[in-house]
Amino acid sequence: MGWLLRHNWLWALLAFMLGAVITWFLLVRRGPAQAVAEQQTREAAEEKSEVLVGAGVAAAGTAAAAPTRHFEEPAEQLREEPVEAFDQTQHEAPPAADAGPVTEVDREETRAADPVPLPMPEPVENEPAQPNPTTAVQAKAVAAPVFSRRMDAEPTNAEPTLFDEPVADEVPAETDAVPPGRYGVGSAEAVPHQGPPDGFTIKGNVQSKLFHTPDSPYYGRTRAEVWFRTEADAERAGFTKYVRKPRKSASPGK
């Protein structure tokens, strides 16, 4: 095959350049055309608003007859807009479809909220009547799993019970058991197909160096590569918080 290339390298080079030029031309031509289209839609929208304002004053017939050409153009351009939006964001998260993140966050909230309303006070009320330690241990094992205590986050506020001390001892041991990730203390490596370690709610994207708090619209669809405990931890690791960029069309016109 080498001899073929040796004999025809000029033609191969020509085909290479032809392919590159055609592709580049097609890719570049789409960009400015869409910018122009966006400009036209913006202008058309302004004209339309003017027309609508005038329609209240002028006769309805003239107002309806005049802008027909302008209404056709934006309709045509608006059809192209989602394509551009997709192209711009195809390497990031896709633009906000509200259902995705909301359901994700909801699921997370329910998951976080589930263990909280466990019947904590019940063993407390039953406890003075049963000083027997074996029944107390059984009641603990059945009614109050260890993780429910950590969800409360304020064990000091609860009434002291017989089995508070061992639980309080376990909590720091388990939080310390989370090994620090590659960004030091406060970060944790994400394990595929697993949720975050307890207390780690902030998702970090290693490529973009952005982190998403649960408030972010892309929180649900962001796959965490590293988890952070607090925003300060994430910022210390060199990550920046995701903030929604202002939409282009809204900036100059209004």
| Contacting positions for another protein (CB under 8 A) | 1, 4-5, 8, 11-13, 15-24, 27-28, 88, 91, 208
Supply the minimum distance, in Å, between the C-beta of residue 3 and another protein. 10
Measured from the CB atom, is 73 or 84 closer to another protein?
84
Cβ proximity of 202 and 212 under 8 Å: yes
- CA dist 112 and 117 (Å) reads 11
Supply the minimum distance, in Å, between the C-beta of residue 184 and another protein. 24
The pair of structure tokens assigned to 2 is: 């080498």
Measured from the CB atom, is 22 or 112 closer to another protein?
22
Q: Which of 209, 251, 247, 253 is closest to 89 using CA atoms?
A: 247
Supply the minimum distance, in Å, between the C-beta of residue 238 and another protein. 14
- CA dist 250 and 235 (Å) reads 30
SS3 label, residue 254: coil
Measured from the CB atom, is 56 or 246 closer to another protein?
246
- CA dist 202 and 234 (Å) reads 8
Measured from the CB atom, is 35 or 153 closer to another protein?
35
Supply the minimum distance, in Å, between the C-beta of residue 227 and another protein. 23
Cβ proximity of 48 and 85 under 8 Å: no
Measured from the CB atom, is 18 or 52 closer to another protein?
18
Tell me the residue type at 69: R
Supply the minimum distance, in Å, between the C-beta of residue 89 and another protein. 10
- CA dist 13 and 8 (Å) reads 9
